[in-house]
Amino acid sequence: MYFFVNMKGILFFLISLFWLTAFALDQQVTIQGTFIGAEGETIRLMETKDYISNQKREIDACRIDEDGNFSFSFRLIEPQALFFRIFHGTNSFFAEPGKSYLVEFESIDPENEVEGRDFYPFNRYYGFEIRQQNDDQDLNKLINNFDNMVFDFVEENVSRQFRVNHRHSLDNFRLFTDSLFRDVDHDFFRDYYDYSFANLYRTLNTRQFQWLADSFLLDRPVLHQNPAYMDFLSRMFNTFIFAASPHLSMNDLEICVNRHNSYHALMDSLGKEPVLRNELFRELVMIDGLKKMYDHPDFRRSHVVNILEIVKYNSKFPEHRKIAANVLQNLQQLRRGHPAPSLEVFDSSGNRVTLESFHGKYVFLFFWATWCQSCIAELGPMTDMAGEFDEQVEFVGIFVDQDPEAAKVFTHNEELDLSLFHFNNNHRMLDRFDLKSVPAYMVIDPEGKILRNPFPSPSDAGKQRLRSLIR
C-alpha cells in the first residue's frame, strides 16, 4: 500500500511537471532577424521596466553574424512593448508570449553609414519590418495601423486648426475606427485602443476630468504594462494633486511629507479625492507624485526618499515595490553626492583607463563628437580651463563617434592638454551616464562622487563656476 501511494504521488508529480513545462514553453518568444550592413555589430533587446520611472533593462544581446543574421529567445508573461538598440538607434515593437517573429531591417551601406549614423546619434531610427508567424491578428500590425490613423487625424484636424474645438471631429473619428476594429478580439489591443482615445480626449480637452476618470479609471483594472494606459495616467495626474484637485491642497501634502514624513498620512490625504478611492490606483498616483516632489522646492527631499523607500519595502502590491525601487534609483543616480557610474575607455596605447585612474583629483567629464559643431567650438574655452586648473582637475573627454578613426585627430593629439578617448563603441557605458545628446558635462569629486550634473559648457562661464564649485 505504501508503494502504491508513492507511485500515485510520483505519477501526479510527473503529470504536473509536464504541464508546467508545457506552460513555460508556451511563454517562450523567439525572434529571427536580419540586418544587412550591420554584420559584426551588437544588437540589444531592451524593455522599459515600468512607465513611471521609465527605466530601461537589457533582456539579451547578440552579435550580428557575417551573414547579417541575429536571433533572440526569451520568456514573456504578457504582451509587452520592447525595443532593439543598435548603434545609437532605438526601434520599438510589441511581443506576445508564445509567439515567433521574423524581423528584417532595411539594409545599410557601411561605407556611407558612419556619417549618417552619427548625424542623429541618439534617436536614429533604422527601418525594419516585423512579422508575427501564424497569427491573423498581429498585434504590431494592429497597433501600427491604428497609430498611423491617429497621426493622420491629428495632422489633418489638429495641427492646422489648433484653436478649434475638436470634439465633433474626434467623435466622428472614433466612430470610423470603431467600425474598422470592431471584430478585433485582442485584449491588449482593445485596452491600447481605448486609452489612446482617452489620451486624445484629455490632450484636446474635449472631455471633463471627472468624465474621463469615470469612463477610464474608476472600477477598471490598473494596466501597468500597457503604455497607452500609463501615458493617460501621467497626463491625467501631471499637475492634478498639486493644483487641480478641489479636495487636495499643497498645504495638506506639505504637512504629510515635510512635517509627518508619513506614508500613511500621505495616502490618507490623497484618499480625500474621490477619484483616488481605489488603494492600488491611489498608491500608483502617489509614487508618480513623489517622483515630482523630489525636485519640487516645497518638499523635503530626504522625506520624499523615505516615503518611497517605505513603498519599496512594504507595499502590499509587488509591482509598486519594483516601481518605487526604480524611481529611487533614477532620482539618486547621476545626482550630487552619489557615486559616478563606472567608466572604461582605452588610451592610444591600448591601456585601460577608468575613473579610479584619476582618484584624488576632480574630474571634469565631458562627452563630445567630432561632427558636433558646438562641441568643437568649446575646444578653445576647454583648453583654457584645463590650463588654469591643471593641478586640481583632470579634464576627461569621451568622443562618441561610431568610427574611432574620426576621433583620432583629437585622441592622438598630444599637444591638447586634455585626456581624450573614444568610447570604444561601449553603448552600455553611455546608457549608464544616461547620455541623450552631446555636448554633455559633469564634475566628479576626488572620491569618485558626482559634484555637479549637468554642468555648464566652458564658454558659459564654465571657468568661474568650476572655480567656485571646487572651493
Digitized pLDDT (tens) for each residue of the chain, 471 residues in all: 333 445 555 545 555 555 445 444 458 999 999 999 999 999 999 999 999 999 999 999 999 999 999 999 999 999 999 999 988 788 899 999 999 999 999 998 755 554 444 444 556 778 899 877 666 689 999 999 999 999 999 999 887 776 778 899 999 999 999 999 999 999 999 999 999 999 999 999 999 999 999 999 998 999 999 999 999 999 999 888 887 788 888 999 999 999 999 999 999 999 999 999 999 999 999 999 999 999 999 999 999 999 999 999 999 999 999 999 999 999 989 999 999 999 999 988 889 999 999 999 999 999 999 989 999 999 999 999 999 998 899 999 999 988 888 899 898 888 888 999 999 999 999 999 999 889 999 999 999 999 999 999 999 988 899 999 987
Cα–Cα distance for residue pair 408/394, rounded to 1 Å:
20
As a whole number of angstroms, the distance between CA 325 and CA 195 comes to 26
Q: Helices (H) and strands (E) in the chain — how many of each? A: 17, 15
Name every residue whose Cβ is closer than 8 Å to that of residue 329 and which is 6 or more positions away in sequence: 53, 55
Burial class (CB in 10 A: 0-12, 13-18, 19+), 222: middle
Q: 427 near 318, Cβ under 8 Å?
A: no
User: At residue 277, what are phi and psi to the nearest 5 degrees?
Assistant: -70, -25
Per-residue pLDDT tens over the stretch 23-81: 444 589 999 999 999 999 999 999 999 999 999 999 999 999 999 999 999 999 999 99
Q: What is the per-residue pLDDT for 110?
A: 59
Task: List the domains of the chain with CATH numbers.
Answer: 28-135 (2.60.40.180), 141-236 (no CATH), 256-332 (no CATH), 344-470 (3.40.30.10)
Residue with cell 513603498: 311
Q: How far apart are CA 382 and CA 396, in angstroms?
A: 11
Q: What is the DSSP string of 447-470?
A: TSBEEESS---IIIIIHHHHHHHH
Which of these, 157, 165, 232, lies nearest to 197 by C-alpha position? 232
Do 301 and 294 form a contact (C-beta atoms < 8 A)?
Answer: yes
Strands in 219-303 per DSSP E: none
DSSP 3-state assignment of 184?
coil
- The residue among 200, 226, 230, 198 whose CA lies nearest residue 211 is 198
pLDDT digits (tens, 9 = 90+) for 313-359: 999 999 999 999 999 999 989 999 999 999 999 988 889 999 999 99
Q: Tell me how far apart the alpha carbons of residues 399 and 406 are, in angstroms, rounded to a whole number.
A: 9
Q: What gap in Å lies between CA 458 and CA 454, rounded to an integer?
A: 12
DSSP state of 241: I
